[in-house]
Amino acid sequence: MAEEEDDPGFDEDLDDGGNGVDSGQGKRKRLFSKELRCMMYGFGDDQNPYTESVDILEDLVIEFITEMTHKAMSIGRQGRVQVEDIVFLIRKDPRKFARVKDLLTMNEELKKTLKAFDEANYGS
């Protein structure tokens, strides 16, 4: 799978890589274009980021998710992806680790609150 750094000249000119020389994932439909644009603006980029940059970022994110999934499948329970595996893989990166812990804690609290709310309503 060719990475973006291998063919530096081609990314800017050929937008969707219609020819044979594309960056490996050019044929796939863009999954996260809209969300990534908003995200890049939120993280500090211009209000209208370049399409090529958004494409590069999408490829990177998909590669990241793919790698994490493969690693998670190879540890713990083989062939399955579980939350504990992800937390284990992330343990060395403080930012991501803290973020995952917070997200899961918040989700638990939310579920508890909604459950209590529903039960309270059920009586009335």
Partner 1 sequence: MADPARVKPVVGVSEAPAERPTQSEGSRDAPGSSGKVSEPAAVQSTTREQGKAVSPSRSAEEAAAAGEEEDGSSSLHPPPAKKLKVEHDKKKEKRHKVDEDEIQKMQVLVSSFSEEQLNRYEMYRRAAFPKAAIKRLIQSITGSSVSQNVVIAMSGIAKVFAGEIVEEALDVCEKWGDTPPLQPKHMREAVRRLKSREQVPNTKHKKILFH
User: Per rule CB under 8 A, is residue 43 in the interface with partner 1?
Assistant: yes
* Alpha-carbon 21 to chain mean position: 26
User: Per rule CB under 8 A, is residue 14 in the interface with partner 1?
Assistant: no
Residue 121 and residue 111 in contact, taking contact as beta carbons nearer than 8 Å: no
Q: 56: burial class by Cβ within 10 Å (0-12, 13-18, 19+)?
A: middle
User: Per rule CB under 8 A, is residue 2 in the interface with partner 1?
Assistant: no
* DSSP 8-state secondary structure symbol assigned to residue 53: H
List the structure tokens of 61. 């994110």
In the complex, minimum distance from the CB of residue 114 to partner 1, in angstroms, rounded to a whole number: 8
In the complex, minimum distance from the CB of residue 20 to partner 1, in angstroms, rounded to a whole number: 20
Exactly one of 14, 61, 76, 88 binds partner 1 (CB under 8 A); that residue is 61
Residue 53 and residue 40 in contact, taking contact as beta carbons nearer than 8 Å: yes
CA distance linking residue 85 with residue 73, whole number of Å:
8
User: Per rule CB under 8 A, is residue 21 in the interface with partner 1?
Assistant: no
> How many residues belong to the site for partner 1 (CB under 8 A)?
65
Interacting residue ranges for partner 1, rule: CB under 8 A: 1, 4-5, 8, 11-12, 31-32, 35-36, 38-46, 48-50, 52-53, 56-57, 60-62, 64-71, 73, 79-83, 86-87, 90, 93-100, 102-107, 109-111, 113-114
